[in-house]
């Protein structure tokens, strides 16, 4: 299953899709990876991505990877959240939010959630731009080298890989009939 997911991610990188779709997926995965999951803010952002034009496969593959990598940043994210939540100019806003019916359920008053959201909003354009540059460079310089590498050719000749590839092709063709 993991091999199939990685194969689809590599195929998406090499596909004729717009690099912006992949870059947006990477940027949103980074934002979601910055925040602890299981709260309404996190689920709201994830739900938002289902309505946007981006590569959901890459996003869903990268969210857990970014979450693991970001754990080293938790003390800094906590400090950012503390600064935001204790800023005097924002007291009236947070008090009004806290006194509404559903906003307190979002967990916005958790320093990790607030810090991750703020850092994610600030990092989104950087991650998007960097990802777009990397996808374009991969397609231009690396894809052909990797596709023609002897190890990749040997891997694709394995019987199980052929069966998985044929199954995915058949499923894709069946799905295309219903579009």
Domain boundaries along the sequence of the chain: 2-142, 149-179
pLDDT band at 1 (very low <50, low <70, confident <90, very high): very low
Residue among 14, 6, 1 nearest 141 (CA): 14
Q: Please state, in angstroms and rounded to a whole number, the distance separating the CA atoms of residues 168 and 165.
A: 5
What is the pTM assigned to this prediction?
0.75
83's enclosing H/E stretch is helix 74-85
- Give the mean pLDDT of 84-110: 86
Q: Please state, in angstroms and rounded to a whole number, the distance separating the CA atoms of residues 132 and 157.
A: 31
> Percent of the chain beyond pLDDT 90?
40
**Is pLDDT larger for residue 178 or for residue 148?**
148
């Amino acid at each position: 299953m993991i091999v199939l997911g990685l194969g689809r991610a590599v195929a998406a990188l090499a596909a004729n899709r717009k690099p912006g779709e992949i870059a947006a997926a990477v940027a949103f995965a980074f934002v979601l990876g910055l925040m602890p999951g299981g709260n309404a803010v996190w689920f709201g952002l994830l739900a938002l991505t289902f309505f946007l034009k981006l590569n959901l496969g890459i996003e869903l593959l990268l969210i857990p990877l970014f979450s693991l990598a970001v754990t080293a940043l938790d003390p800094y994210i906590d400090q950012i959240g503390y600064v935001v939540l204790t800023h005097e100019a924002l007291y009236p806003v947070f008090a009004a939010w806290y006194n509404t019916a559903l906003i307190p359920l979002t967990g916005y008053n958790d320093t990790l959630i607030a810090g991750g959201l703020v850092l994610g909003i600030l990092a989104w354009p950087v991650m998007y731009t960097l990802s777009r540059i990397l996808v374009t460079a991969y397609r231009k310089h690396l894809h052909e080298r990797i596709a023609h590498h002897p190890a990749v050719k040997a891997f694709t000749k394995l019987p199980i890989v052929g069966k998985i590839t044929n199954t995915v092709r058949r499923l894709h063709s069946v799905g295309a009939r219903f579009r």
